[in-house]
Each structure stands twice: as C-alpha cells, then as structure tokens.
C-alpha cells in the first residue's frame, strides 16, 4: 500500500487525531465552563471530519448533528441555569485520577499491541460478519446504504433499543425538570422573545427550510448517508430556533408539552408495532419479509421502481421506511421535550429576576 493517496489519507488521519488530542488537553486545562463546552463542540466537529476520513459517513453526520449540535445546546442550557463561575482547581484532587489514568491507559496500550494492524482487511473484525453484510445486503435487503440496512434490518432490534433509550432520556428529563410552577407546563405569561427584526425574519425563512432538510435526510437515509436519528435531531432544531427567537410561550402554544410527549411514545409504538405486525403475518419479530401478507404484496404494481428485483424487497423497504419514521417521531419529540425542560426553568428564572 505504498500509494500516495493512501499515504495522504493516513497523514490526514494522524493530523486530525493530533488535533483531537490538543483539544482534549485544552478542555482538561480550561478553567472556564463556557470554554470547555465550546471546546467540546469543536472536538465533536473535528471528530466528524476524522470520521469522514475513516469512511464513516453516517456516523460523521450523526456526530456533527448530535455531538456538536444538541449536546452543545443542552450543555449551554445547563450552564445558563446553573450560573456557575470559574472551575476551581485543587491540585490534590488531581493525583488519584492521574494515577488511575496512567494505570488504565498503560494496560490498554499493552492490550492494543495484540490487535491487528490498522486498516487490515483480513482482520477478524473486517473479514467475518462485517464482510458478510456487504455481500448479503444487495441480495436480501436491496438498499444501497449498507449501514442503514444493518441498522434497520439486520440489527433492527438494537435500533429499537436505541429508540427506547432516547425515549427513556425524555422521560428522565421530564421527571427531573418538567413539573410544578417552574416548568414548561406553565409557560411565562409574557412572551419573552427577541424583538430584533433581522432575527425574526431570518428565522421565519430558515425554519421551513430546516424542516424540509430534515425530511430529505429522513427519506434518503437508505440511498446515501442519513436516517431517522439525524433527521430527528435536525427536525427538533426548528422548534428550538423558534423558541429562541419568538419566545418559549409561542412555541409551547404551537407545540404543547403533552403533545410532544405523546408523539415520542407513538414513535416507539410505531416501531414495536411494525415488529408485531410481522409476527401476526406469520414471521418473527421485525422480520420485514412478513410485513405484507401475500394478498397485499400482489397489489403492488411490479414495475413500480424500475428494478424488477424490487418485488422481492418490498417488505424490507417499507419495513425500514416505517421504523425510520418511528425513530424520527421519537427522537425529534424527545429533543424538543429536553429543550422544553431546560428552557422552561430558565424562562421562569427570568420572570423571577424581573
């Protein structure tokens, strides 16, 4: 592998990893919480770039959206509510962690010597199940994006679990932040939006475009990079932007708290429902080949999407479509719930202060 292109790719990989280490050290040394959070956002963005170099397109997309996007929003919301000053630094606290870290790190580096070479196509990891997915997906699923095929079909049960994790996080945040007078359930009586004309006009232009982009990412997830999770987070950005510019009260009037929570639950029900329909039609849970009973499959016009082989894959295509829809509902609704949780308490603090 002495080719220039491969060497350039490896050099880029090394450079990005070194950048990440530098940002990591900067986070460790920083005394300001705001700086730490923004550096974490930069870390996520550089990770996303590194992931592209590593051929992980979907993951890069998710890391950029979730890591640099939502995580930063939630962290900023938290420091706004907490109103903390600079981080105190006690040198005595650093000794046990330093020892722990050196010990664990040393063990890990020793263990890593037993791993196959980086980039080795014949390593067990790359030669066994991973390779089988690449070979079998065109025949069994018929979807170009193998990552989506594995995520939604082969390991669909994992994705159901992941969706439930998101749902559980929404419930957790609602349990912690969502009740009583100091919450989004009783929004402030006065709209506290920003009155800047530029912001309002731009937001009105951007919000529909953001939603459109979210739907594009959603429905093209099986053709290129994308999918339910990325689309869900992007879709949640629209109400968040709306709340930041026009005031939380207006957003809650448009999208009430209980409605959002119900949509999150409906997403999980849709996903699990698809699985149950497959059982009712004679297959196993989430076996999309049994999604449609033969009578329904017969009704689908054969040349619908041009490729004659598609007839075999209708169950898979529609199964993936529906579960990604369920993921979209749950993820977007949960992100909005989380935002409502944090913003609801902040709005009340402003009220108390004024």
Partner 1 sequence: MSMAVTHFNYIAVIVLMMIGLYVLFATGNLIKRMVGLALFQTSTALFYISLGKVSGGTAAITIYADSPEGRALAATLDPAYVDQFGINGVVYSNPLPHVLILTAIVVGVATLSVGLSIVVRIREAYGTVETDEIEAVARVEAAQSGPARSEAGA
Partner 2 sequence: MILFEAIYVAPPALTAQAPILVIAGPLIGACAAVLSPGARTAWMISVLTAAFTLWMSVAVAGEVARAGVIDYALGGFAQPMGIALRIDALGATMALLIASVGLLGALYSGHALVSEVKPEKHTLFQSGYLLCLAGFIGLVLTGDAFNAFVFLEVSSIGTYALVGVGEARDKRALPAAFNYLIFGTVGATFYVLGIGFLYAATGTLNMADMAMRLATLGDNTAAQAGLAFVVAGLGIKAAMFPLHGWLPGAYAGAPSLVSVFLAATATKAAIYLIIRFVLDVFPEGEFGAIFLRWILAPLAATAVIVCSVQAIFAKEVRRILAFSSVAQVGFIMLGVSLATAAGVSAGVYYLIAHALLKGALFMAVGAFAVSVRARTVDDFAGIACEAPWSAAAFGVGAASLAGVPMTMGFLAKWTLISAALEAGAVWIAVTLAIGSLLTLIYVWRMLEAIFFRMPAAGAERAREAPVGVLVPLFILAGLSLLFGVTSTLPASMADASAAALTGAAP
> Which residues inside 52-81 make contact with partner 1, applying CB under 8 A?
54-59, 62-63, 66-67, 70-71, 74-75, 77-79, 81
Q: Is residue 74 a contact partner of residue 342, using CB atoms and an 8 Å limit?
A: yes
Least distance (Å) between residue 91 CB and partner 1? 10
In whole angstroms, what is the distance from residue 262 CA to residue 310 CA?
35
Those residues whose C-beta lies under 8 Å from the C-beta of residue 111, and which sit 6 or more positions away, are none
In which region does residue 30 sit, left (phi positive, over 0), alpha (psi from -120 to 50) or beta (all else)?
Answer: beta
Q: How far is CA 49 from CA 17, 27, 127, 322, in A?
A: 10, 19, 26, 30
Q: Which is nearer to partner 2, 58 or 192 (CB)?
A: 58
Q: Is residue 108 a contact partner of residue 100, using CB atoms and an 8 Å limit?
A: no
Helix (H) or strand (E) holding 215: helix 197-219
Q: Which is nearer to partner 1, 103 or 208 (CB)?
A: 103
Least distance (Å) between residue 247 CB and partner 2? 24
The verdict on 165 binding partner 1 (CB under 8 A) reads yes
Among 17-25, 207-215, 275-283, 312-320, the segment contacting partner 1 (CB under 8 A): 17-25
> Which residues inside 317-346 make contact with partner 1, applying CB under 8 A?
331, 338, 341-342, 345
Least distance (Å) between residue 277 CB and partner 2? 12
Q: Which is nearer to partner 1, 79 or 255 (CB)?
A: 79
> Which residues inside 87-106 make contact with partner 1, applying CB under 8 A?
87-90, 93-94, 96-98, 100-102, 104-105
Q: Which is nearer to partner 2, 100 or 212 (CB)?
A: 100
Q: Is residue 146 a contact partner of residue 56, using CB atoms and an 8 Å limit?
A: no
In whole angstroms, what is the distance from residue 173 CA to residue 333 CA?
13
> Which residues inside 116-135 make contact with partner 1, applying CB under 8 A?
117-123, 125-126, 129-131, 133-135
């Amino acid at each position: 592998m002495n080719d220039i292109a491969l060497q350039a790719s490896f050099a880029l990989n090394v450079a990005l990893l070194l950048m990440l280490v530098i940002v990591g050290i900067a986070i460790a040394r920083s005394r300001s919480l705001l700086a730490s959070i923004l550096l974490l956002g930069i870390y996520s963005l550089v990770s996303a770039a590194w992931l592209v170099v590593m051929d992980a397109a979907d993951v890069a997309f998710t890391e950029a959206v979730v890591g640099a996007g939502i995580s930063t929003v939630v962290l900023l919301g938290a420091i706004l509510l907490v109103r903390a000053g600079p981080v105190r630094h006690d040198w005595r606290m650093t000794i046990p962690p330093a020892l722990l870290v050196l010990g664990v790190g040393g063990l890990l580096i020793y263990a890593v010597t037993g791993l196959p070479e980086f980039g080795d196509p014949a390593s067990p990891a790359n030669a066994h199940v991973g390779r089988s997915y690449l070979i079998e997906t065109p025949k069994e699923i018929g979807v170009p994006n193998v990552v989506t095929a594995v995520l939604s079909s082969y390991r669909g049960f994992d994705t159901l679990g992941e969706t439930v994790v998101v749902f559980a996080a929404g419930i957790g945040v609602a349990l912690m932040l969502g009740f009583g007078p100091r919450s989004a359930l009783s929004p402030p009586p006065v709209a506290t939006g920003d009155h800047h004309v530029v912001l309002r006009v731009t937001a009105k232009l951007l919000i529909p475009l953001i939603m459109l982009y979210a739907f594009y990412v959603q429905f093209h997830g099986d053709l290129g990079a994308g999918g339910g999770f990325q689309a869900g987070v992007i879709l949640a950005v629209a109400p968040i932007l709306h709340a930041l510019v026009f005031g939380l009260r207006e957003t809650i009037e448009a999208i009430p708290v209980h409605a959002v929570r119900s949509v999150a639950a409906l997403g999980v029900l849709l996903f699990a429902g698809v699985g149950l329909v497959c059982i009712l039609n004679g297959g196993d849970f989430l076996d999309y080949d049994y999604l449609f009973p033969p009578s329904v499959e017969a009704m689908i016009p054969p040349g619908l999407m041009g490729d004659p082989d598609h007839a075999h894959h209708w169950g898979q295509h529609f199964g993936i479509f529906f579960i990604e829809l369920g993921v979209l509902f749950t993820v977007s609704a949960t992100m909005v719930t989380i935002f409502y949780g944090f913003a609801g308490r902040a709005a009340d603090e402003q009220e108390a202060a004024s």
